[in-house]
A and B are shown apart, each in its own frame.
Chain A
Amino acid sequence: MKQFDYVRPATVAEAVAAAAQPGAAYLAAGTNLLDLMKGGVSRPDRLVDVTHLDGLDQIECLADGGVRIGALVSNADLAHDAHFAKSYPAVAEALLSGASAQLRNAATIGGNLLQRTRCAYFYDAASRCNKREAGSGCDARDGENRTHAVLGWSENCIATHPSDFCVPLVALDAVVEIEGRNGRREIALDELHRLPGNTPERESALEPGDLIVAVRLPAAARGFAAHARYLKVRDRTSYAFAVVSAAAALQIENGKIVEARLALGGVAAKPWRARAAEDVLRNVAPTADAFQETAWRALTDAKPSGDNAFKIELARRIVVRALSLAAAGTPARIAALPASPFASTSGAIHARA
């Protein structure tokens, strides 16, 4: 690991000033950053430790019915907050389907948004990677790429964003609060992550010094609580990143869907909101046919970036199944295997002691 200076600011303003310097990076739990630094993938000159800042670790119910999640709230604390999990069950399910219990205890929700891709070529400092070193090339393009992107990729980069948490968040119109050199601003989560295009090294809309201080969910997001699920296919049942995942949320009145939300994970460099597909479901009954059509619409623009054409059909099936699960209703308790396709038949399929 490269040597770095350690800075512990006392206020958010101090943090922003310290992190605006070239070569600086924010440190929260470090569960992704330390791993990247140990591998020489991230080489910051200065770490600005925000974990001792006050006031960033609260889950607040807002007067307008929304919720504000401080950036330093841990994944575990948010998922296990009973009121939050009841109001936004797909978000809690997504959080609990990610990483391990140890990592969820440490990792913060702000850090989750800004975690880096798990593309093996990004992680391997000896490989060419346009994201790690602009203009160097992309070894994933002709490499082991079965888990890479099928939507929104470019010739320069086929990496995916690995977050589970972001998938239901983007479906539910989450907003990110940012403190920067010019004060506070907020953007839709959907606008935080960038598609690679010709500049895969620019991953987000953040500017130097920008600090995510909170994520907000609007009051309307609670309207889906009765029919909201996250479904995630992994190479192993637990402690693995998504090959493909989907968050599905429905509002059903008198047998018809009045509003639908759908987002996909593991398919693109950002959590992929499928707005056109949502339109298919407006004012129709929640039927298998409608869900099939929705799935086809969601993947209309998908194309393989390598040995991953299977992900397109897999994504269609995951969309249908997530919507079917959502229509059946949010379970009272999250399954033993959160978001797993094996959850309902776990006894038969999963190894038993």
Chain B
Amino acid sequence: MNHSISLTVNGARREFVLDDPRVTLLDLLRERLHLTGTKMGCDRGQCGACTILVDGKRINSCLALAISHDGADILTIEGVARGDQLHPVQAAFIAHDGFQCGFCTPGQIMSAIGMMSEAQAGNDPERIRECMSGNLCRCGAYAGIVDAVLDAQASMDESNQRCSVRGAPHEAI
């Protein structure tokens, strides 16, 4: 039996016909849309490489059935830069060597972006480590990842402050 669903992916509304309900959001992104930035690591919700934002919240896309997320708004690593201008978290990962092989990086960055909007960690490195514990890095780039998140958090706080001084609306992440 075919099921029709619609999703907004990186700002564009897309319609899909699923001939199999077993397709996860991860499968759909990678195999239907060829958005291969989102990685399949463990495929069991243990590594965080598949982290995406669904309706603004970070989740493991490997454990989410696409059919159940009919109507959802999805943001992947491909959707965070503005043209050639990197997202502040992307730029900070480069500046602080927040990766080695790079496989976990899209998940780390999406998780960090989600974490900042949750606003639980602030600039406390211990809280950042705890709030990022769902993203494993086998190269062990954790020190650089925490520095990158701290830096990105600081630069985004600063730019938000500038915005509020000018009375401009806070730009959504």
Contacts and interface: CB of A to CB of B under 8 A. Distances in A.
Given A336-B124, A346-B126, A352-B125, A100 B24 contact: no
Interface residues of B, number: 42
Interface in A94-115: 99-103, 105-106
Nearest to A34: B63
Contacts of B60: 31, 102-103, 106
A180 interface: no
A108 B129 CA distance: 24
A38 B63 CA distance: 10
A34 B134 contact: no
Given A336-B124, A350-B126, A105 B21 contact: no
A35 interface: yes
Contacts of A38: 43-44
A1 interface: yes
B57 interface: yes
Nearest to A35: B44
Given A38-B44, A102-B111, A103-B134, A336 B64 contact: no
A34 B59 CA distance: 14
Given A101-B131, A337-B130, A6 B67 contact: yes
A103 B45 contact: yes
Contacts of A35: 44-45, 63
Most buried by B among A4, A30, A80, A336: A336
Interface stretch (B29-37, B75-83, B141-149, B160-168): B141-149
Interface residues of A, number: 36
A76 B51 CA distance: 16
Interface in B46-99: 48, 51, 57-60, 62-65, 67-68, 70
A336 B127 contact: yes
Interface string A331-347: 00000111000000011
A106 B133 contact: no
Contact of A239 (B22, B24, B126, B134): B134
B10 interface: no
Most buried by B among A27, A34, A101: A101
12 contacts: A34-B64, A49-B67, A52-B70, A100-B133, A101-B131, A102-B51, A103-B59, A103-B63, A106-B64, A238-B129, A336-B124, A350-B126
Interface of B: 1, 3, 20-22, 24, 43-45, 48, 51, 57-60, 62-65, 67-68, 70, 111, 114-115, 118, 120, 124-127, 129-135, 142-143, 146-147
Given A30-B65, A101-B115, A337-B126, 8 more contacts: A6-B3, A35-B63, A80-B120, A101-B132, A101-B133, A239-B134, A337-B130, A353-B147
